[in-house]
Structure 1
Amino acid sequence: MLKDLDITPEDPAELRAVNRLLADEVKALSLKVEQLQHQLHGANRHRFGSKSEGLDQLNLDLLEDAEIVEAAEDQAKQPAPSQEGVDPKPKRKHSRKPLPDHLDREDEELSPGDECGRCGGNLRTLGEDVTEELEYVPGRFKVKRIIRPRKACSWCEAIVQAPLPSRPIERGRPGPGLLAHVLVSKYADHLPLYRLSQIFAREGVDLDRSTMADWVGRSTALLEPLADAIGRMVRQGPALFADDTPIKMLAPGNKKTKTARVWTYVRDERAWSGQSPPCAWYQFTVDRKGEHPVAHLSGYKGWVHADGYSGFNGVFGDDKADEMAACACTTQVRGCLLLAGQRHCEEVIRRIAELYAIEKEIRGMPPEDRATIRQARAKPIFDALEEWLQTQLPKISGKSPLAQAIRYALGRMPKARPYLELGHLELDNNTAERAVKPVAIGRKNWMFSGSQGGGKAMAIAYTLIETAKLNGVDPQAWLTWVLGQVADHKITRLDELLPWRYAAQAA
């Protein structure tokens, strides 16, 4: 603007006008530099972050996901296991490769006894049926041979045989330990199934990726009622933590991808010595519309820790004010100010660190004691931080990233304030943010959900695995135990299979 100004004005009024123009230009240029620095910071994070996906991996994820969905649908249509002594014949037979000879064999004999149940006569052996089941125990494969002798009565000629026990996959070859290992490898260790197939091949066991995708679909369909039970328990608490994370999904009808979401809702009362065990419930949706959290939390009465996403506004509508309330996340306030990249953040970090030091001291105390200490020690710090932010705002450009961050912080702080009065609330939403982290790590490996059905299977698996981890339970050991009995377990007694029940039995 003033590049061509060669002569300095002598008139004082004109000189003051030029000074004003120069000051305005400096201010505008400073703001432009600040905005460009902010954009550069974001561009560098994007550029040097995770790389773009490869087409081959994308196709593998799509195919794997489709096979999981198909298997889950087939499993849902399966009739109840036969209770007769002899198993029904399959409608069609598939030729199977024999299980490798180098694997250890473990025999289990199921005998009908030595006395005829019809007439009391002695039974004589006619032969036997042997069913081989591929099982996995930590560190190695083995083959479990289920031997069922066929016997005939010497008096009435009745032929009897012990029934084959129910298995997780009807007429399937995998044992519960192997199914649990595949689920945990995919959703806890984040291994795509094609990589798991390669690992097994090095151990001399040929398991195709498509075969394991079928197992994942059938297993998650079988375990869905248990995941639903965990979801009900999450929504029965006085407070929960909510968050979501994006995941790519193939749009129906074309080959383009769209951004779907995985939502998590966590109940964790350990910070205030609550009696309920911690649990995490995951849900998959094809988009991020606010109607989804509203549907997920329908009927819930309590507090929800959440970030500033506007989609949660429908959850806390005026008609639900007496049933549900929001508690903002102080970490979001801190993070937003940090992204602004200003020296003012040092003051904010110092004050927030003081709040967290108090939280560390009172962790595990009853809610009443936590609230009393917060009122006495944390409230003055919280009030001073809010006042300090208000005094800083007029001192900086209203269009700068820092000003935007401060306005965001001031908008969120009233919703974070309830934690000062209620001891069962937390200062942040880190509990939910930790719960979505496994999904974020997983998508860097398997990257993709090929359909809504595949996303549902993923949500079921994460619900089970992450809830087990929250309770200090080995998810593979627990899922092995559950899959060994869930097929015959009464739906009204599913609570007996939850991770904390397993932990109590194993203790």
Structure 2
Amino acid sequence: MPPALFPHSLASVSLVAEVIYKKFVLGVPLYRQLSEISRLGYHTSEATLTNWVIKAAQQLTPLYEEFHRQLCSAHHLQGDETPIEVLREPGKAATSKSYMWVARTPIKQPNPTVYYAYGATRSGAFAQSVYEGYQGVLQCDGYSGYNLLGTGVHRMGCWAHVRRKFYDANQAHIKGAQELLHLIDEMFTREREWQAYSPRVRRRRRRSSLRKILKRFWRIVDHTEVLSQSRLGKAITYAQSQRPYLDRIISDGVIDWSNNASERNMKSLVIGRKNWLFSTSTQGAESTAIWMTFIESAKANHIDPRQYLTDLLKASTVLPAFPKPEELAVYLPWNYRKHQNVDQRTDVNESPATTFAA
């Protein structure tokens, strides 16, 4: 018999992996999975499935922490946050907001890492815990909580956030918005043409080609007279407040022109949240952060999330209680992918987890 996933439990690795896959990849709430599991001949409860999801995440917490350590060793990161609802959170009403934070490496960087963290607040103090030990470039929106990250973190802005505000002003047919929106779109058009280039080439193109467009954009912004509370006024105010962070992108070829990559990762969570609505407990919210970290990192590394989840759950039964970093490194997505490719060439019937366990 293979090692049990949980002592004295009927839960198998494949069953728990399928439950987690359906909830966090396909967005199927646990209560809607019960009828399918019952049809297959196993009658259980939503509480049991919830316990499986939480306990399995807790068993893989050391690997989750290793993801965070790997993330903070990168030199460029992108970040975002979104509200979630936790019903039974100490000291808070059931309808109050908690937050899920995401941090990831830029698309062009090797060993893509996507990391989620659950926080009871949106305060800058929690941002400090997410980026604890990080020294490098962080691309994010204009939220003031990131101001507490210290001098070791060099912030860069996001042109997509700027564009949305000018787009709204243009949709309202406000005079002056169309020209500014056109200049932003021209920047994005050129950036798309340079996506395949190396960071060094992209930095050179930005400095030689985008600098002129950028100067024209700021010149128009500085000389536009508009009511501060109008849509165009709010767009201009936001752009001016982010100007130091937006101008820095010109001199960096690694960071993207926008923070859309991290927002797409957050959208994966938001789509699921529309189906399962909330987390009942803080343990449930924390397990959501752990599973989303593994799943979105697997996607970023072009790995099948279902197979990756299955192999991680198998690994949780053989890893020691206090695994060493080198024991955990084998299960990081980029190392997993290398072993997977080797296994496919040598023996198509042998799973990566078998090789790892051996």
TM-score (norm 2): 0.88
* Equivalent of residue 266 in structure 2, options 428, 436, 440: 436
Judging by fraction of residues, say which structure has more strand: 1
Partner of residue 159, structure 2: 330
Q: Counterparts of 1:215 and 1:399 in 2: how far apart (Å)?
A: 51
1:497 aligns with 2:334: no
Partner of residue 481, structure 1: 311
| Structure 2 letter corresponding to 1:266 | R
Q: Give the secondary structure class of the aligned counterpart of 1:445.
A: helix
1:411 to partner: Cα distance: 1.7
Q: How many equivalent pairs are there?
A: 333
- What does 1:86-485 correspond to in 2, within 5 Å? 146=1, 165-250=2-87, 251-252=89-90, 256-270=94-108, 274=109, 276-315=110-149, 317=150, 320=151, 323-340=152-169, 341-343=172-174, 344-392=176-224, 394=225, 396-485=226-315
Report if the CA contact (8 A) 1:330-1:413 is conserved. no
RMSD between superposed Cα atoms in Å: 1.7
Identity %: 29
Q: Counterparts of 1:234 and 1:398 in 2: how far apart (Å)?
A: 39
1:400 to partner: Cα distance: 2.0
Classify 1:398/1:285 alpha carbon distance in 2 versus 1 (closer, same or farther; 3 Å): closer
| Structure 1 letter corresponding to 2:158 | C
Q: Counterparts of 1:454 and 1:494 in 2: how far apart (Å)?
A: 23
Q: Counterparts of 1:398 and 1:302 in 2: how far apart (Å)?
A: 34
Report if the CA contact (8 A) 1:231-1:280 is conserved. no
Q: Counterparts of 2:135 and 2:157 in 1: how far apart (Å)?
A: 17
1:178 to partner: Cα distance: 1.4
1:255 to partner: Cα distance: 5.8
Report if the CA contact (8 A) 1:351-1:385 is conserved. yes
Q: Counterparts of 2:113 and 2:92 in 1: how far apart (Å)?
A: 37
Classify 1:230/1:256 alpha carbon distance in 2 versus 1 (closer, same or farther; 3 Å): closer
Q: Counterparts of 2:166 and 2:241 in 1: how far apart (Å)?
A: 13
1:303 to partner: Cα distance: 0.4
Classify 1:429/1:253 alpha carbon distance in 2 versus 1 (closer, same or farther; 3 Å): closer
Report if the CA contact (8 A) 1:370-1:423 is conserved. yes
Q: Counterparts of 1:391 and 1:359 in 2: how far apart (Å)?
A: 26
1:355 to partner: Cα distance: 1.1
- Tell which structure's C-alpha radius of gyration is larger: 1
Q: Counterparts of 1:462 and 1:249 in 2: how far apart (Å)?
A: 17
| Structure 1 letter corresponding to 2:103 | Y
Report if the CA contact (8 A) 1:269-1:277 is conserved. no
1:496 to partner: Cα distance: 0.3
Classify 1:255/1:399 alpha carbon distance in 2 versus 1 (closer, same or farther; 3 Å): closer
Q: Could you say which structure has the greater relative contact order, defined with CA pairs below 8 angstroms and 6 or more residues apart? A: 2
| Structure 2 letter corresponding to 1:217 | I
Q: Counterparts of 2:92 and 2:240 in 1: how far apart (Å)?
A: 44
Task: Give 5+ residue unaligned stretches, structure 2.
Answer: 342-358
TM-score (norm 1): 0.63
Which contiguous aligned blocks of 4+ residues in structure 1 show a shift greater than 4 angstroms?
none
1:253 to partner: Cα distance: 5.7
Report if the CA contact (8 A) 1:266-1:279 is conserved. yes
Q: Counterparts of 1:192 and 1:243 in 2: how far apart (Å)?
A: 24
